Amino acid sequence: MSTRLYTAAQVRELDRHAIEDLGIAGFDLMQRAAGAAWRVLAARWPRIRKIAVLCGAGNNGGDGYLLACQARAAGLEAVVLALGEPATTHARRARDAWRDAGGDIVVAEPGLPAADVYVDALLGTGLQRPVEGELARAIQHLNATGKPVLALDVPSGIDADTGAVLGVAVRAEITVSFIARKRGLSTGAAMDHCGTLVLDRLGLPEEALANAPYDARLLDARRMATWLPPRARSVHKGDFGHVLAIGGDAGMGGAIRLCAEAALRVGAGLVSAVTRPENIFAINAARPEVMAHAVRDAMEMAPLLDRASVFALGPGLGQSDWSSMVWRAALGSHKPAVVDADALNLLAAQVLVLPPESVITPHPGEAARLLGCDTAQIARDRFAAVRALATRYRCVAVLKGAGTLIAHEQGDVAVCPWGNPGMASGGMGDVLTGVIAGLMAQGLNAWRAARLGVALHAQAGDAAARDGEAGTLASDLFPLLRRLRNGLSDG
């Protein structure tokens, strides 16, 4: 259940269930949240002497007042900055507990009091519109302090459902999330604001969550490891499929070579490449295991498509007449496909029905073109975008980026918890296309291949970045992909 991701409304229902059905008092839950936050704060910053807690008007602010009580009781100097009168019964009770403990409340003023650590207890999960006014100024001051910030439940200014920044948002070093994982904290802009994400269920029993609805799941490496069983001793290369990688227009032969090698590195039995004549020598010299074919027209493609079990279409494809020709021929073959890069741009301009068991792998710009919107709309709700892609194109959709999302056309969504900024470099998408196609060639359906492929790719990227994120090359992933696919340590 730790991989389940919930909307804010679903978490509120869990909160209601805890109070009304399990008999846990609402103020008791608030005390548990404050205790969980205090334990994280004390463990992370054991030598600090002073904290400043910024409390909003809602229950998130109530958590902050009670955290300040615990810090004061432990001997720390604590100052509370109140932005608004408490608006709920529990928040008022928490504010009164702070006062009864001898704590002072500082009314909002320009700047912030000095502190070793700041606690963000301003807004929580209920935010639905851009932050403005006094709250926005407080968040800007908080981000400008240069001091570490502990956010309670959700960094203020982040939409808990989408991960988007609503106006301005707190940049936390640690976020302690309560009861259940909020889906928005796992993708998009939120990943630059949450810092280390810690979950505390506040003592809710497993059975309280067992049958509760949830919206998405984090990828689970242990579960996926069983999808590719060990190979029998008597196998041969034909047992592991034949990937046909299609792309590499003039000047872009490296992209199709990366894609083809990636399919081999995750275990495809055979990999061929359809490309421009001028790329053949380079591919043969650098990776002779790839069977490279110069193709000039659709007739030359036909026998290659017939022999393939899956094709990877798009790396370095371009949008020339040659590109359009091979694109149409491939999609007309009705073979399972992984479609990326310029193949997606051609699809956005000339809609064709994708073959069954297909995967599309757009980045936000390509996703915007496929959906007829702009990238800002994609960023505002990545979950809605990836579901729309899967539904419109009747396929499995992979929306790349921080917290990559994978969606089935029936609405299921998985979220990748791995990956790093070093993977923002040329060729990474080409490798992912080949990885997914290579897994499909070995018998995984599109839904499983996309999830496992994204996981292997991101974990290999993390392993490659141990020498530093900047400067990581797409080809650095190849030996790591091989080890990870075989269940070996990536070290």
Q: pLDDT tens digits, residue range 270-315?
A: 999 999 999 999 999 999 999 999 999 889 999 999 999 999 999 9
* Assigned token pair, 319: 């949008």
pLDDT-based confidence at residue 489 (cuts at 50, 70, 90): low
* Model confidence, pTM: 0.95
* Assigned token pair, 481: 């992909």
**Cα–Cα distance between 314 and 214 in angstroms, integer?**
34
Determine the CATH number of domain 221-485. 3.40.1190.20
Tallying the residues shown for the chain, one arrives at 491
| The pLDDT of residue 216 is above 90 | yes
Per-residue burial over 429-465, b if 16 or more Cβ lie within 10 Å, else e, is bbbbbbbbbbbbbbebebbbbbbbbbbbbbbbbbbbb
**Residue located via tokens 């696919």:** 485
**Cα–Cα distance between 192 and 163 in angstroms, integer?**
10
| pLDDT at residue 491, as a whole number | 53
| The pLDDT of residue 88 is above 80 | yes
Q: Where are the alpha helices (DSSP H) in 45-112?
A: 59-73, 89-100
pLDDT-based confidence at residue 345 (cuts at 50, 70, 90): very high
Q: What is the mean pLDDT of the chain?
A: 95
Give the amino acid at 115: A
Q: pLDDT > 90: what percent of the chain?
A: 91
CA 482 vs. chain centroid, Å, equals 23
Residues 25-32 have a mean pLDDT of 96
pLDDT-based confidence at residue 384 (cuts at 50, 70, 90): very high
Cα→Cα distances 173→60, 183, 192, 285, 308, Å: 18, 19, 10, 48, 49
Give the residue range(s) of CATH 3.40.1190.20 domains in the chain. Answer: 221-485
Give the residue range(s) of CATH 3.40.50.10260 domains in the chain. Answer: 4-216
| The pLDDT of residue 219 is above 60 | yes
Residues 160-175 have a mean pLDDT of 97
Give the amino acid at 349: A
**Cα–Cα distance between 1 and 5 in angstroms, integer?**
9
Whether the Cβ atoms of residue 216 and residue 414 lie closer than 8 Å to each other: yes
The domain 4-216 is placed in CATH, from the list 3.40.50.10260, 3.40.250.10, 3.40.50.300, 3.20.20.70, at 3.40.50.10260
| pLDDT at residue 108, as a whole number | 62
Give the amino acid at 90: H
**Cα–Cα distance between 70 and 64 in angstroms, integer?**
10
Q: What is the pLDDT of residues 119-142, one digit of tens each?
A: 999 998 988 899 999 999 999 999
